[in-house]
Structure 1
């Protein structure tokens, strides 16, 4: 079946099958958060992005193979409600942006800086620090050697705009700058975007609207 990225709370995961990586997307919790399970095809090692809610749903998705690591994209509570339970069940190593780690009530084992590498088996992900939605939000970029890049943006980039900066002009300018310079300026239009809530998009679909976002201020 073709991957669409359209999922709903209580529904099945949607699986994006790449040559080296399997990406399973599931929606959880009352705020319709997305969680992503990444599985290296060569080693079967798994990594979870955002243990947002519904620990039982996430642990069922993870299965008996467990996960070696879990990345929290940012400190907002709707992205870590299940983190303690998932870590307790899997003993996974925890990752988060350095500037957000103090706002996450589960200790962070690895503090991420811009450009740091996160491995899942043989697959290399690159952390990009995007400031504005929170001080330490991170996106994860997978530059697929057999296709186009894939980027997990947390709440920093969605279809139709960047993340909520609560009408703070300085925070909005910072987030738009970081998203432009660290995502749009270095990745092609074909890049697939996996956000923290809702449907997926591509950089090509969003790129023509950057000036509109700047003009409207959100």
Structure 2
């Protein structure tokens, strides 16, 4: 069994009065006994089926846009697993789950371990105030949520976002990683740090 599993779920993303159809990447990291889920989106049953009879150690949300957190409480209740989120995401979280709080806070440099695999939290604000990425050096992988995609940074045209901040986060924390690091994103295909790094100045110039 691969330590990284991938599931695509479909639904909607709503913010600032608009709603869009989206496909989301849900990531599972672990082994045959225990697993951690990153960004459970849209379809709790499909995620639960993939978890199976394994112990769910944590539900880690890279940020709190509704398409990334809408099924977190359902999975938390079903598997008795904590929801982890950066506290700066509270305003966005409350838009989706006003009557439920995350269980634990994420902080920069924190290490979360599942099945002997260490995931290091990198604080990468910009797409939202408390966006984080999860770096897994032993798997040469980083889970970037909506901070970095194949072809550029995440969107910053909506509430609680900042273009200058996301560019700073990417250049400081992500592009400093080894070029062979696989970037596993919140939407769409994966890429590598080496493929994206040459385009930083182009993104700056475009105000991407």
TM-score class normalised by the smaller sequence: 0.7 to 0.9
Partner of 1:54: 43
Paired residue total: 192
Partner of 1:71: 60
> Is 1:138 matched with 2:132?
yes
1:66, distance to aligned residue in structure 2 (A): 3.2
Partner of 2:162: 171
- 1:140-168 CA-to-partner distances (Å, cap 9, x unmatched) read 00011xxx620000000001100000079
Q: Structure 2: how far apart are the matches of 1:60 and 1:102?
A: 31
Q: Structure 1: how far apart are the matches of 2:181 and 2:39?
A: 20
One of 141, 154, 157 as aligned partner of 1:150: 141
Q: Normalising by the residue count of structure 2, what TM-score does the alignment of the two structures yield?
A: 0.87
Q: Structure 1: how far apart are the matches of 2:56 and 2:87?
A: 22
Q: Normalising by the residue count of structure 1, what TM-score does the alignment of the two structures yield?
A: 0.83
Are the equivalent residues in 2 in contact too, given 1:40–1:123 (CA < 8 A)? no
| Unmatched runs of 5 consecutive residues or more in structure 2 | 12-21
More helix by share: 2
Partner of 1:161: 152
Are the equivalent residues in 2 in contact too, given 1:55–1:82 (CA < 8 A)? yes
Residue correspondence of structure 1 range 12-161 to structure 2 within 5 A: 17=2, 22-30=3-11, 31-40=22-31, 44-104=33-93, 105=97, 106-144=100-138, 149-161=140-152
> Is 1:197 matched with 2:187?
yes
Q: CA RMSD in A?
A: 1.7
Partner of 1:208: 198
| Unmatched runs of 5 consecutive residues or more in structure 1 | 1-14
Are the equivalent residues in 2 in contact too, given 1:101–1:111 (CA < 8 A)? no
Runs of 4+, deviation exceeding 4 Å: none
